[in-house]
């Protein structure tokens, strides 16, 4: 909700600026509030090590491997990342198509082969109340104090039993216990991995301090503001200094209601609203031009469909990655 409020505050400030400057009337804040929806996502970008482990696990499901082959695969997993020829981008060039995207500073994680020691506590199983006839079970390491506290809860039972293999443990054992844990690390290459392109095709590496939020402008804001706000192409680069590092960030997407018409404000030239971000970037990023995805009077739902199809449709660029 803090991230939502930041987005609403910026929309309110922009609306006040438009009114004070005597520019075309717009209400980005109202457009966000009308939707009644804010989508929050935790986005994780896999390191090359993680991708290789996932690929190895998938292969083990479809074909039987003898024990010696599995052991040999362990060393391959740890060395494949440095030699694997993959894209230098975690996320391809694109423009957000909502109003605002509010992002936290990224968290970078690095694997270590140190096996964490198990705490000297009793292993218990916490069984949640039945939901639609099913029981949701969660493995939980309980200290003696935790056990006493949970036993007093209504409609919950704590049962001592022998440790059972969780799904994650089963996946790990299928790859002969690829023992590693994740630890937070400093940003590789010294920045956040986010790159932004301006109207002159110049790219900038964005640094986001740990106690800051960053707000990206989307296509819907550019249209509703008549080009006063501009959606800039951006991508997420893979680290060049350490390719075993993964990245994650929390994103909140603020957008108009699906049935809202994305009309350009009266008195604003269409060219101004559609080409405010520049057209040269299309050559470097292959992002479909805004004019090819927007039609006068189209709803946000229709615009979203036309925007995502070139990326994620059957012939989309992202679907072929």
The DSSP bridge partners found for residue 40 are 252
- The pLDDT value recorded for residue 18 is 85
Sign, CA dihedral 50-52-58-64, equals negative
Q: Quickly state the pLDDT bin for 288 (edges 50, 70, 90).
A: confident
Number of H helices, E strands in the chain: 11, 13
Query: Mind listing the pLDDT tens digit for each residue in 17-62?
Result: 888 776 666 689 999 999 998 999 999 999 988 888 788 777 766 6
- Both tokens of 171, joined, read 């996946």
Q: Give me the residue label for tokens 């909502």.
A: 98
- Give residue limits of the domains in the chain: 1-57+86-113+178-320
Q: Tell me how far apart the alpha carbons of residues 227 and 220 are, in angstroms, rounded to a whole number.
A: 10
With respect to CATH, is domain 1-57+86-113+178-320 assigned 1.20.1280? no
In terms of Cα–Cα distance, which of 108, 102, 101 is closest to 46? 108
- The pLDDT value recorded for residue 55 is 80
Between residues 71 and 82, the one the model is more confident about: 71
Instruction: Name 228's Cβ contacts closer than 8 Å, sequence gap at least 6.
Output: 14, 18, 23, 26, 276
State the pairing for strand pair 100-104/246-254.
Answer: antiparallel
User: Under a CB-based contact definition with an 8 Å cutoff, are residues 127 and 137 in contact?
Assistant: yes
In terms of Cα–Cα distance, which of 208, 215, 210, 214 is closest to 193? 208
The SS3 assignment for 257 reads coil
Instruction: Name 102's Cβ contacts closer than 8 Å, sequence gap at least 6.
Output: 3, 4, 6, 7, 213, 214, 215, 251, 252, 254
- The pLDDT value recorded for residue 140 is 37
Backbone phi, psi, residue 190, to 5°: 85, 10
Query: Mind listing the pLDDT tens digit for each residue in 125-148?
Result: 333 333 333 333 333 343 444 444
User: Under a CB-based contact definition with an 8 Å cutoff, are residues 108 and 188 in contact?
Assistant: yes
Asked if residue 111 has pLDDT above 60, the reply is yes
Q: In what order do the strands lie in the sheet with 123-131?
A: 134-141, 123-131, 157-160
- The pLDDT value recorded for residue 314 is 59
Q: How far is CA 37 from CA 1, 99, 102, 253, in A?
A: 11, 12, 14, 9
State the pairing for strand pair 107-112/234-237.
Answer: unpaired
Q: Give me the residue label for tokens 């990655």.
A: 321
The SS3 assignment for 286 reads coil
């Amino acid at each position: 909700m803090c991230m939502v409020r930041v987005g609403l505050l910026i929309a309110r400030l922009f609306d006040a600026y438009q009114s004070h400057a005597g520019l075309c009337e717009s209400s980005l804040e109202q457009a966000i509030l009308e939707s009644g929806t804010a989508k929050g996502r935790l986005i994780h970008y896999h390191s090359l090590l993680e991708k290789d482990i996932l690929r190895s696990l998938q292969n083990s499901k479809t074909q039987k491997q003898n024990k010696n082959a599995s052991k040999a695969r362990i060393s391959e997993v740890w060395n494949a990342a440095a030699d694997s020829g993959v894209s230098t981008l975690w996320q391809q060039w694109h423009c957000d198509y909502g109003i605002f995207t509010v992002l936290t500073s990224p968290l970078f994680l690095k694997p270590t082969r140190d096996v964490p020691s198990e705490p000297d506590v009793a292993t218990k199983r916490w069984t949640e109340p039945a939901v639609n006839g099913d029981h949701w079970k969660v493995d939980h390491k309980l200290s003696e104090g935790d056990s006493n506290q949970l036993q007093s809860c209504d409609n919950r039972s704590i049962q001592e039993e022998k440790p059972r293999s969780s799904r994650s443990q089963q996946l790990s054992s299928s790859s002969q216990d690829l023992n590693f844990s994740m630890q937070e690390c400093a940003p590789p290459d010294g920045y956040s991995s986010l790159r932004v392109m301006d109207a002159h095709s110049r790219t900038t590496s964005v640094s986001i301090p740990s106690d800051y939020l960053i707000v990206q402008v989307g296509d819907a804001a550019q249209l509703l503001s008549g080009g006063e706000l501009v959606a800039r192409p951006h991508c997420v680069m893979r680290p060049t200094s350490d390719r075993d590092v993964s990245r994650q960030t929390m994103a909140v997407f603020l957008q108009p209601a699906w049935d809202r018409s994305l009309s350009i404000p009266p008195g604003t030239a269409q060219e101004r609203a559609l080409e405010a971000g520049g057209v040269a970037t299309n050559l470097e990023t292959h992002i479909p031009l805004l004019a090819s995805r927007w039609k006068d009077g189209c709803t946000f739902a229709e615009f979203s469909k036309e925007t995502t199809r070139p990326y994620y449709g059957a012939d989309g660029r992202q679907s072929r990655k």
